[in-house]
Structure 1
Amino acid sequence: MRKYSSHRKTQKKMIKNEGEEFRVRLPKNGELFGRVDALHGGKRMSVKCSDGRVRMCRIPGRMKRVWVRLDDYVIVKPWEVESEKKGDIIWKYREAEVSWLKSKGYLKEL
């Protein structure tokens, strides 16, 4: 007989490191900053990009485990066809990364 419950194995410890160093990914060639404006269900959402356009973006399969919500900051890669209307979300920023980007002036236009 077990002397402990089975849920004990699956519990995770939450550790917060305030002084943690991290690298912030910046947009490369053809990529833009964006902020999620609306969720449309499935893997689709409206994103306001740094060039002033609102694009219908989708989450590709490699990011399906990343939860993207309203007002999250992301990197958008516009499609080659219909680049002014559609794109893919390729990166989601965490809170610490967003505060760093704002302090450095990268997110002023959003």
Structure 2
Amino acid sequence: MRKRREGTANNSPTPEVTRVRTPRKENHEVLATVGSLLGSKRVNLQCMDGVVRMGRIPGSKNKKMWIREGDIVIATPWEIQDSKADVIWKYTRPQIEWLERKGYLK
């Protein structure tokens, strides 16, 4: 069995981001930061339009995307209550860096 040399790990560069989903204004989508997890598929969102909303993770997305505090997501505010929203997309780390470079995040 060969010994593993230090410093020779597989250091692959970060993947290049080619396509990033941005919020669509015609669908009233906004960028938001997850503030805290409230339990029962609910999160506290600090939206980029300055409103704090209670976000709901729909059942179709519940098991597919694991959301933690500090994640950047796309939320769609409810038409009936503006203080609530649905979480529809979660960004990965390379996508967040791309959003910061392009000026979507401040």
Q: TM-score, normalised by structure 1?
A: 0.78
Q: Cα–Cα, structure 1 residues 104 and 86, in superposed 2: closer, same or farther, change >3 Å?
A: same
Task: Say whether residues 1:26 and 2:22 are aligned partners.
Answer: yes
Q: Find runs of 4+ consecutive structure 1 residues off by over 2 angstroms.
A: 16-22
Which segments of 5 or more consecutive residues in structure 1 lack a partner in the other structure? 1-15
Any conservation in 1 of the 2:17–2:94 contact (CA below 8 Å)? no
Determine the C-alpha separation between the residues in 1 that align with 2:45 and 2:17. 28
Which whole-Å deviations, capped at 9, do the CAs of 1:50-102 have from their partners, x for residues lacking one? 1001000000012112100000000000001112x100000000000000000
Which one-letter code corresponds to 1:27 in the other structure?
Answer: P
Which one-letter code corresponds to 2:37 in the other structure?
Answer: L
Determine the C-alpha separation between the residues in 2 that align with 1:92 and 1:44. 14
SS in 1 for 2:97: helix
Task: Say whether residues 1:93 and 2:105 are aligned partners.
Answer: no
Determine the C-alpha separation between the residues in 2 that align with 1:71 and 1:19. 22
Which segments of 5 or more consecutive residues in structure 2 lack a partner in the other structure? 1-11
